[in-house]
Structure 1
Amino acid sequence: MSDKNTLYLECRSGISGDMTVAALLDLGATEENLRRTLAKLPVDGYEIKVQRLRKNGLDVCDFDVILEDEADHKHLQEKMNGHVQVEHGHIHGHVDGSNMHVHEHEKHHEHIHEHREGRECEHDHGGAHTHAHVHRTWKDIEQLLETADLKPRVLELSRQMFRTVAEAEGKAHGCPPEQVHFHEVGAVDSIVDIVGTAACLEELGVEKVLVSDLWEGSGHVHCQHGVLPVPVPAVLEIAAAHGLTLRQTEQQGEMVTPTGAAIAALSEGRQPSRFRVKRAGLGAGKKEFPKANILRAMLIEEEPEGELWLLESNIDDCPGEAMGYAMDCLLEAGARDVFFTPIFMKKNRPAYKLSVLCDEEHIREMDEILFRETTTIGVRRCRVERDVLPRRFAEVQTELGAAKVKICALPDGKEVFYPEYESVKELARKSGKSYREVYRVVKEEAENDMQYR
């Protein structure tokens, strides 16, 4: 297996932790490596089951985490039999004093993407477990991961996904991520799903993750403390923080869980427009939908990005506000870049040349926006070529907090680091330090961190 693969996740039936692990196992990751990695965790009270199932006539892989409280499982099954209208539970929390406790939501369906106890439960068995109030904070879980002797890449990915969930839950419930408490029973599924996903990604040599739009259900889901709308708050927070696109469907119930959204948040860009499939895997969801309830995972080879289209128009009679709005519309619609160049037109009239770089399939949409939002009466275009440096994204920990960094490889193999603007801006506002100072701190931390070299 190549040590530099691109993974594409097609989420037309949503995404959850167990579906992802199953799809990656079907893609080529081994159950032996998965079990060996999970055995390093100081977590017990569960077992995993990997099997083959048929979904809408398709042979797919199924992954399940089975907790060792059979009485609770029986109790859950009774609940599931009586409340099949709800698709799955989800992470839900309440504030007790200064801390937020994440409780499970009852899961009443098979596609069970639930987050219970600060974790999503994507398994048939996991809906309404009763348990003693044993808690783990996010810091406890981070320490658990760091002491488990995981491979560096597995540790990095696991921390990133768990932090994404903790930050989303904290924001949704109005408390810092450090104060989010995960009930011990509830945290087990999330730990297994997240570390399992990270172990499979590392074994498959996945360096870049791309995801499609996240197809989500509608309606409401029931939990211990009431009824929540779909998408649930944590999923919305993750989507907003990481630029994920949700596509709501008529399917009743939740299809995207917080753990699934945290996995999707590893994505480094839009879904590929053209690619060659090297290998594919299918992961089973737990509920029977009219359409196949599966997650498709593909190792792909993207078509070269060196070729783009340049659209241009000279404009001398359009208000600046309209031009700015047009730029926003073009970027939101998929333009690779939009920029203005001051020019002089005939009769020495000052004007702007509006330039748009886009893929071929976006030309028609770009034209429509240009004609609708500006005063231009014509758009010229030509095909352009470019050289592109290989790049990837990583998250680094600094004294000011976590920040996302773009890492580009130069032709001689040397890597250069570029802190992402939004991360630097957020840390600058939180710390009160200047943008330039935060940028320097993040860049130096990235350069000094050997795991990104």
Structure 2
Amino acid sequence: MSKILYLECYSGISGDMTVGALLDLGADRDVLEKALRSLQVGGYSLHFGRTKKCGIDAYDFDVSLEEEEEHGEHGEHQHHEHLHHHGHHSHTHRNIEDIHHIIDRMDAGNKVKVLSKKIFNIVAEAESAAHGIPVEEVHFHEVGAIDSIVDILSTAICIDNLGIDQVIVSTLWEGQGFVTCQHGIIPVPTPAAAHIISKHALKLKQTENQGEMVTPTGAAIAAALNSGKSLPSEYCIKKIGIGAGKKDFPHANILRAMIIETARPNKEWKDTDAQSDEMWKLETNMDDCSGEAMGFTLECLLSAGAADAWYTPAYMKKNRPAYTLQVLCREEQIEEMQDLIFSHTTTVGIRRTKFQRTVLKREIKQVSTPYGEVSVKVCRHREQVYLYPEYEDIKKICLSQNKEYKTVYQEIIEYCKLHGNL
């Protein structure tokens, strides 16, 4: 089962809030600090602690800069404009290629490096759009970029350390008004954050709070991690982590991160029970799609976890011969299944219907037979036990011993009944 992370951004999102929430979820601090030391980048220190927001205990992660007086009070809640043009300052600047070099020398796995670069590229593209310059001319101030480097890399390190497979991001709640940056007073959301939200189709909700709640780094993290999937209608919360923001609002300024599992609201198995649950059927008609494309689509759908998928012949308008594709899946799989159908076929519309189904209790058992080990599906209903030897195993026996399929199939069933202890 995949490990799903849900980021609840009802107080916005920033880099330090994200890292704090992931550390609170159980990401290994020692692994994080070791990887950051390998960057060979100085000028900062890390703070790991706890604080309270509206009485809620939260993890307080902070990057303290040695020259933060040059940029004002530290913290992502205060907008830092890290981008500069050539020649505006005497300080050293780093462009996106320099950032990539820093990431490449980090003592971490390839997944961490790829995700770190993805997040930083999103930031650089947003700054490029906001300032009207090519991406390669985007430069990050030597000191001002450090907190972004640490926050972004720390996020990637923690995501990898927690073994997260999929991330669902809620609507981003944002404040209103203006914030002060190095070049003047700019609107909320800031131009860079607004560009990220627009380009990556993140959902935004404006609140009555005055000030910035979604930072460019936070927006980039959300964009890079977001799977595009919606929160399941029902789920189980396995673990909760809370990262503290640096501002105080009427509501708790926190980022809540939750490891969740899709809830299966089915009753527990009993030896004599069949199981009832809900499935969705996706359906579409196609009269202009090649057989190769349809066959490939079916393979993709089944590989992606569809409960079943099949074609049936149909006649459409003007008596044109066609095929109807039908797919059975769970609610949380609908979006993925639709994406596959739209990507690989010529259809322009998909119908969906919710169904109730009854499924017999089943398990796969390995049975030692005179033909060798065979996988057998064992299904139960009331007092009855039904045995179904797996096709591939029977096929292998038939080919190797020149036997008839139906003969081997029946022999395996009879042997299981006598000696299988099922």
TM-score if structure 2 supplies the norm length? 0.62
- Secondary structure of the equivalent of 1:206? coil
Distance 1:167 1:380, change over 3 A: closer
Alpha-carbon displacement from aligned partner over 1:93-121 (angstroms, at most 9, x marks no partner): 46558xxx8xxxxxxxxxxxxxxxxxxxx
* Residue in 1 that maps onto 2:240: 280
Percentage identity across aligned positions?
53
1:91 aligns to 2:81 (yes or no): yes
- Cα distance, 1:311–1:21 mapped onto 2, change above 3 Å: closer
* Corresponding residue number in structure 2 for 1:422: none
Separation in 2 of the partners of 1:145 and 1:290? 38
Which blocks of at least 5 consecutive residues in structure 2 are unaligned?
Answer: 266-276, 285-313, 333-350, 358-391, 393-422
Q: Residue 165 of structure 2: SS of its match in structure 1?
A: strand
Structure 1, unaligned runs of 5 or more:
81-85, 102-130, 314-341, 362-378, 386-411, 413-453
Paired letter, 2:185:
V
What does the per-residue CA deviation read over 1:207-257, in whole Å, with 9 as the maximum and x for residues that have no partner?
211110111111111112122111111112111222211111111111001
Indicate how the Cα distance of structure 1 residues 90 and 70 shifts in structure 2: closer, same or farther if over 3 A, else same: closer
Q: Indicate if the aligned counterparts of 1:212 and 1:270 stay in contact, CA closer than 8 A.
A: no
1:151–1:225 distance in 2 versus 1, CA, 3 Å: same
Contact residue 218 and residue 250 of structure 1 kept, 8 A: yes
1:160 is matched with which residue? 118
Q: How many residues align?
A: 301
Contact 2:112 2:157 in 1 (8 A): yes
TM-fit CA distance, 1:190: 0.6
Structure 1 pair 229–72 and aligned structure 2 pair: CA distance change class (3 A): closer
Q: Which amino acid is 2:81 matched to?
A: I
Q: Alpha carbons of 1:203 and 1:311: their partners in 2 closer, same or farther (altered >3 Å)?
A: closer
- Corresponding position of 2:249: 289
CA distance in structure 1 between the aligned counterparts of 2:329 and 2:185, rounded to whole angstroms: 43
Matches of residues 195-234 of structure 1 in structure 2 within 5 Å? 195-234=153-192
In 2, Cα distance between equivalents of 1:191 and 1:20: 14
Q: Which residue of the other structure, out of 219, 230, 253, is the alignment partner of 1:271?
A: 230
Match of 1:21 among 19, 22, 25: 19
Residue 399 of structure 1: aligned partner:
none
What SS does structure 1 have at the residue aligned with 2:220? helix
Counterpart CA distance in 1 for 2:154 and 2:18 is 9
Deviation per CA, 1:105-140: give whole Å up to 9, x if none: xxxxxxxxxxxxxxxxxxxxxxxxxx8521000000
In the TM superposition, 1:40-439 aligns within 5 A as 40-69=38-67, 72=70, 76=73, 88-91=78-81, 93=83, 95-96=85-86, 132-265=90-223, 266-273=225-232, 274-303=234-263, 309=280, 381-383=353-355
Aligned-CA RMSD value:
3.9
Q: Which one has the largest radius of gyration? A: 2
Query: In the TM superposition, what is the alpha-carbon distance from 1:91 to its structure 2 partner?
Result: 3.2
* One-letter amino acid of the counterpart of residue 240, structure 2: A
Distance 2:68 2:220 in 1: 29
The answer to whether the 8 A contact 1:162-1:194 is kept is: yes
In structure 2, give the amino acid aligned to 1:278.
K
SS in 2 for 1:15: coil
8 Å CA contact 2:177–2:210 kept in 1: the answer is yes
Residues 34 and 196 in structure 1, CA contact (< 8 A), matched pair in contact too: yes
State the distance in 2 between where 1:156 and 1:95 align.
Answer: 27
Task: Give the distance between the partners of 1:42 and 1:93, measured in 2 at CA.
Answer: 22
Residue 262 of structure 1: how far off its partner (Å): 1.1
Which amino acid in 1 is paired with 2:55? G
